[in-house]
Amino acid sequence: MGHIDLAAAEVDTPKLGRKRDHTRDPEILTAALDVLAETGYDRMTIDMVATRAKAGKATLYRRWASKAELVIDAVACMKNAGIDMANLPDTGTLRGDLVANIKPHSIQDGDRKIHVMAGLMSMISSEPGLADAVQSAIVEPRAKVNRLLLQRAIDRGEIPADSDVEKLSLLVASMAMYRTMVQRKTANREFLISVIDELLLPAVGLRP
């Protein structure tokens, strides 16, 4: 038994020769997300991802045990991609903060995340780890920003203290998702601002 374990350990950590090149893992994961967003989980093939990443299919299977694990890993690596929690806008008003947070990069990142989610929709209930990955990498980061901006507005007395922060923080995301998935239109800057001005701000008692 000891012999077998030792041999396996040696296979896992080879001492000689070329080491595995992990520098291109991000490219592979990005390619996986692209294909996922474009074609959906079930119609996405490993060959598509390999081809787009200019890699061999065997290379992918040397790194990930299955298609599902590759996708879960790809989703997880979106976690801190499009949002820099460090320097959020602080304009002094809720509207100012929300609008300042709508940058081209932010719009593009949100659109990508929605399309990835759409591609995972059918799969998300059958694959257990996937729901968690989506929640912590796609949903939560976005909600966290809005919660923070709303809480600031409460702290400075701009909006009522009993505002339903949780529901309000999901309002823009919900409308953007519906517009993208159902209406098949882009959730562009002017749409997002209109949601803020016509729905979110009135809901907390601020008439723009």
Partner DNA sequence: CGTATCCGAAACTCAGCCGTTTCGGATATA
Partner DNA sequence: TATATCCGAAACGGCTGAGTTTCGGATACG
167 near DNA, judged by CB under 7 A: no
**In sequence order, what DSSP letters do the residues of the chain get, joined into one string?**
-HHHHHHHHHHHS--SSPPP--TTHHHHHHHHHHHHHHH-TTT--HHHHHHHTT--HHHHHHH-SSHHHHHHHHHHTTTTTS--STT----SSHHHHHHHT--HHHHHHHHHHHHHHHHHTTTTTTSHHHHHHHIIIIIHHHHHHHHHHHHHHHHTTSS-TT--HHHHHHHHHHHHHHHHHTS-----HHHHHHHIIIIIHHHTT---
* Nearest distance from C-beta of residue 63 to a copy of itself, angstroms: 25
Which of DNA, a copy of itself, none sits in contact with 131, Cβ below 5 to 8 A by type?
a copy of itself
Instruction: Give least dist CB 16 to a copy of itself, A.
Output: 45
Residue 7 contact among DNA, a copy of itself, none, beta carbon within 5 to 8 Å by kind: none
Residue in 2, 17, 104, 208 binding DNA, rule: CB under 7 A? 17
Does 66 help bind DNA (rule: CB under 7 A)? Answer: yes
Q: Which is nearer to a copy of itself, 25 or 109 (CB)?
A: 109
Residues that bind a copy of itself (CB under 8 A): 39-43, 117-119, 121-123, 125-126, 131, 134, 139, 164, 167-168, 170-171, 173-175, 177-178, 181-184, 194-195, 198-199, 202-205
